[in-house]
Structure 1
Amino acid sequence: MKLNAEMTQDVLLIHVDEPRIDAAVAIRFKDRMRDLTDGATGRVVLNLAGVEFIDSSGLGAIVTAMKQLPDGAVLELADLMPNVDRVFRLTRMDSVFTIHDTAAEAKRDHAC
C-alpha cells in the first residue's frame, strides 16, 4: 500500500498513491496508516486525490484508521473524486469526517 506522509504546518498530510481502497488492500491500508500516525497529535489529513474507487471494506479501513489514532488526533479527508465522495455521502460518513475540497484548503483552514 503506497501512502506518503509529510508534516506541513501542524498538519500530518497523508497521500494515498493507489487508485483503489478495497478489500484487496484494506488490511495493508490500516497497518500503514497505523504506522504513519503513531504518535500523531492534532490534525491528520488523508488526501484521496488519486483514489478512484472505494468499497465498503475501504470505507471500514478509513473508519478504523480514524479510531486507531492517538488521543487528541483527528482524521480529516481531502480531494475526494466524485465516485469516492458519493460513497461517503450515501453512507452518511460525510457527517463523521470533515471533508475538504483540496489538501491546500485543508492546510489553509488550519492556518485560519
Structure 2
Amino acid sequence: MKYSIDKQERYSILALDEEKLDTLIAPKLKSEFVTLFQSGTTNLILDMSKVKYVDSSGLSAILVANRLAGDVDGFLVLAGVTPHVMKLITISKLDNVLNLLPTVKEAVEAIHLSEVEKELKQENGME
C-alpha cells in the first residue's frame, strides 16, 4: 500500500497513493488507522484524491477510522473524493455519516474550527 502521513499538532493527513481501495489494501489501511489513533492522533484527514475505486471492504476501513476518531472525541474528514467514489458513498448512504470536503485545505480549516469549538465548550464548562 502506497501512502504518506503528515502529522501536525492538531491533526494527521493520510494521503492514499492508490487508485483502488479494495480487499487488497483495506486490511493494511485499517491497521494503519489503528496505529495512528493509538499513537495520539485525534483528528484525521484522509486524502482520497488519487482513489478512483472503492469496494465494500474499503468503505469498511473508512468506517473503522470514523469510529476510532469518534472514540477519542476526534474528527475524520475525507478530502478530495473523486466522483465515482462519491457516487458509491452516496448510494451507501454514508454521505450522511462521513465528513466530506472537496480539498485538504478545507478539511484542515474544518478541524481547526472543530478544535476551537471544543476548547470554548471546555472553557465554559459545557463538557
Shorter-normalised TM range: 0.7 to 0.9
**TM-score, normalised to structure 2's length?**
0.77
Give me the whole-angstrom Cα distance separating, in 1, the residues matched to 2:62 and 2:18. 14
- Which blocks of at least 5 consecutive residues in structure 2 are unaligned? 114-127
The match for 2:94 is 93
Q: How does 1:50-65 map to 2 (within 5 A)?
A: 50-65=50-65
What letter corresponds to residue 5 of structure 2 in structure 1? A
Paired residues of 1:5 and 1:36 also in contact (CA < 8 A)? no
- Bigger relative contact order, structure 1 or 2 (CA pairs below 8 A, ≥6 apart): 1
**TM-score, normalised to structure 1's length?**
0.86
With over 3 angstroms needed to count, the CA separation of the structure-2 counterparts of 1:8 and 1:68, relative to structure 1, is: closer
Residues 66-100 of structure 1: CA deviation (Å, up to 9, x unaligned): 22345222211110011111111111101111100
The match for 1:106 is 107
Please identify the structure whose Cα radius of gyration is greater: 2
Give me the whole-angstrom Cα distance separating, in 2, the residues matched to 1:110 and 1:65. 15
Cα offset, 1:9, TM superposition: 5.7
More displaced 10-residue stretch of structure 1: 37-46 or 95-104: 37-46
Give me the whole-angstrom Cα distance separating, in 1, the residues matched to 2:51 and 2:3. 11
Paired residues of 2:10 and 2:112 also in contact (CA < 8 A)? no
What letter corresponds to residue 34 of structure 1 in structure 2? V
Q: How many residues align?
A: 112
Give me the whole-angstrom Cα distance separating, in 1, the residues matched to 2:74 and 2:48. 19
Structure ranking higher in helix proportion: 2
Cα offset, 1:49, TM superposition: 0.6
Query: C-alpha root-mean-square deviation of aligned residues, in Å?
Result: 1.8
What letter corresponds to residue 56 of structure 1 in structure 2? S
Cα offset, 1:35, TM superposition: 1.7
Paired residues of 1:16 and 1:46 also in contact (CA < 8 A)? yes
Structure ranking higher in strand proportion: 1
The match for 2:35 is 35
Cα offset, 1:8, TM superposition: 3.9
The match for 1:68 is 68
Paired residues of 2:15 and 2:48 also in contact (CA < 8 A)? yes
The match for 1:12 is 12
